[in-house]
Structure 1
């Protein structure tokens, strides 16, 4: 039996020789940003629903940076929503100076959607769970501010696109189009370009959607 190498790489993960066994060469990332509310929420989701994805991020020391990026971009999107809501509701600094009590009441009453609509959005989000496996897409429940969609995570820049949805129909339309385009692309990719029969591609799509 030949001498074992001191270091090997498999599936993008570095391993070092420890005795007769290889163990992951884990290095603490130079990341000190907090992962915040959305990061913790998504971390728990990955643990429960996508353990393989969670383990891969953990072993490659990308988990904390990924969660920190996700949290920062979700919070930025919420800041934008909050400012838009304040404009719509007439919650201005002038109002705050003139009548602070009315300003507080309006701030507390800001709502984009009822709990019923929130429940619809959650059902839509759950229905497209397979999409999050095919593409680097995350949909987060931002409470009364809507659902935040983050798409196409590419370190070190974070997510390339983000959007916010405040009703179930708009969220469904966006996720359905994303699912349709992705599924169509992956199906066509398996076929020879010269032999594509588009009816066959469409027939391969799930009837449920």
Structure 2
């Protein structure tokens, strides 16, 4: 993490940035959702993780776990109720994805 400061009314406020921009490039939907949740509802935890430079790793971990769980759930749903054949039954397909 690089520390630079901004002068606000005589106080030096640190400008916090992520150490590794490449971690943010790898981040998916669920990682960004987790980041927003931490920033908006657990700000002190977010700030500590940012200062300790553990936020990027945490967000990638959450994103990976959520995507794996999503795949499991989708497979279970498809086993329970298979998707209709688009060519054979276009109306059923449209009900699913319409």
In structure 1, C-alpha distance between the alignment counterparts of 2:29 and 2:80, rounded to whole Å = 26
Please list the CA deviations of residues 21-59 of structure 1 after superposition, one character each: whole Å capped at 9, or x if unmatched. xx9xx8824853522111111111111211111011111
**Structure 2 residue runs without a partner (length 5+):** 1-13
Match of 2:32 among 31, 40, 60: 40
Relative to the length of structure 1, the TM-score reads 0.33
**Shift in Å at residue 89 of structure 1?**
1.2
Match of 2:69 among 77, 89, 94: 77
Name the structure with the higher helix share. Answer: 2
Q: Match for residue 90 of structure 1?
A: 82
Shift in CA distance, 106/73, structure 1 to aligned 2, threshold 3 Å: farther
Report the aligned-residue RMSD: 2.9
Q: Match for residue 5 of structure 2?
A: none
**Structure 1 residue runs without a partner (length 5+):** 1-22, 110-209
User: Contact 1:89–1:106 (CA<8 Å) still a contact in 2?
Assistant: no
Q: Match for residue 28 of structure 1?
A: 19
**Shift in Å at residue 72 of structure 1?**
1.3
Q: What SS does the corresponding residue of 2:61 show, helix, strand or coil? A: helix
User: Contact 2:18–2:56 (CA<8 Å) still a contact in 1?
Assistant: no
Shift in CA distance, 106/72, structure 1 to aligned 2, threshold 3 Å: farther
Larger Rg: 1
Match of 2:59 among 57, 60, 67: 67
Name the structure with the higher strand share. Answer: 1
